Copies of this chain bind each other. A is one copy, B any other.
Amino acid sequence: MDENLGKVVGNKQILFKGYIEGVPKESDMELKLGNEIKLEAPKGSGAFLVKNLYLSCDPYMRGRMRDFHGSYLPPFVPGSVVEGFGVSKVIDSDNPNFKPGDIVSCFTGWEEYTLFRNTEQLRKVQPDDIPLSYHIGLLGMPGFTAYVGFYEVCAPKRDEQVFVSAASGAVGQLVGQLAKLHGCYVVGSAGSNQKVDLLKNKLGFDEAFNYKQEPDLDAALKKYFPEGIDIYFENVGGAMLDAVLVNMRVHGRIAVCGMVSQAGIGASDQQGIRNLFSLVPKRVKMHGFLQSDYLHLFPRFVEQVGSLYKEGKIAYLEDMNHGLESAPAAFAALFTGKNIGKQVVCVART
């Protein structure tokens, strides 16, 4: 039981300062101290109070930092607390389905404590030998994105040639490992030699390369894929996508998960993609997707990927910052590639 239960305490929060242009910076968010909260779930409210343990930093959140209401998620509200996926512990509850000590994976605030009045985007986590933080990574939205993107969107076949960009990231690292388990040949690209080493020696990719050290991406792809690429799992956009397009094989598939290289760039300054015509002679399918369209597969995903992890058949790289105050810098680092693996912020261990 939380020692402060029933007391009024200062609830540290990370606020979104205002709409941005360009690549997110640490200074786009700020720590606010001392917003008072009474640590209880009010009687008759059906609500429950959680202590946030781990918060997830994800590139999609950049999309909520602009004043655009036509997307699948509304923008953050300037001056309000940042939101994202998290793993949290129930400390008080007026809801019979949740009791103190329960661990939930949820869509929560970037703050120490959050009161939940509705349980729609929330799953109870059964404690086992999987680290709690993995429920916002390997077994959370990023892992599920990899799972549905690879199996449902890419429709892979054994022996196919698979290329993954941002391959050591939260999503890419699982895509590559699932592809290996499926019997594919897998190459990943990343932005440092350390990441390349991890891809080859810890995550089991057949090959990996540092795109920053390749003066000619087309030549690099031709070297690793002399017969072309069947499946491209697209996380970066820009010059890499253009090079991939001319290296696709007939009937290839491109799963468009994200384009992080273009994340901070206004539409008029986006790097134009020049080789799209290649889609026609190669009969390539390019398919943008969101994991949220496949939620009916989530239980199967947790079961299968959880088992693979417990059996030691897959690994997961996590980059953890400590303390809520470290969250803005941890988020900004996603866009410069500083993180190695899934970026998480540990607010509290228990």
Contacts and interface: CB of A to CB of B under 8 A. Distances in A.
A257 to B, nearest CB: 7
Given A272-B272, A272-B274, A289 B280 contact: yes
A283 B293 contact: yes
Interface stretch (A11-19, A263-271, A334-342): A263-271
Interface in A274-293: 274-290, 293
25 contacts: A71-B281, A72-B281, A237-B277, A246-B267, A256-B279, A258-B280, A259-B277, A262-B277, A270-B272, A270-B274, A271-B274, A273-B274, A276-B276, A279-B287, A279-B288, A280-B289, A281-B290, A282-B288, A283-B288, A283-B289, A283-B290, A283-B293, A285-B286, A285-B287, A286-B286
Contacts of A246: 267
A184 B136 CA distance: 42
The CB with the most chain B CB atoms within 10 A, among A257, A259, A287, is that of A287
Contacts of A237: 276-277
A1 B70 CA distance: 68
A101 interface: no
A72 B283 CA distance: 10
A63 interface: yes
Interface of A: 63, 71-72, 237, 241, 246, 250, 256-259, 262, 267-268, 270-290, 293
A290 B250 CA distance: 11
A278 to B, nearest CB: 8
Contacts of A289: 280, 283
B275 A267 contact: yes
A280 B290 contact: yes
A293 B262 CA distance: 34
A287 B280 CA distance: 8
A280 B272 CA distance: 17
Q: Which 10 A-B pairs have the closest CB atoms?
A: A272-B272, A279-B288, A270-B274, A280-B288, A286-B286, A273-B273, A285-B287, A71-B281, A259-B277, A256-B279
Nearest to A254: B286
B288 A259 contact: no
A270 B275 contact: yes
A45 to B, nearest CB: 34
A289 B262 CA distance: 27
B276 A259 contact: yes
A280 B267 contact: no
Contacts of A284: 287-288
Contacts of A72: 250, 281
Contact of A274 (B250, B267, B279, B287): B267
A285 B285 contact: yes
Nearest to A263: B277
Given A272-B271, A273-B273, A277-B270, A286 B283 contact: no
Given A256-B279, A257-B280, A267-B274, 16 more contacts: A63-B281, A258-B280, A259-B276, A259-B280, A270-B274, A271-B272, A271-B274, A272-B273, A273-B274, A276-B276, A279-B287, A279-B288, A280-B290, A283-B290, A284-B287, A285-B286
A266 to B, nearest CB: 10
Given A285-B286, A286-B285, A276 B279 contact: no
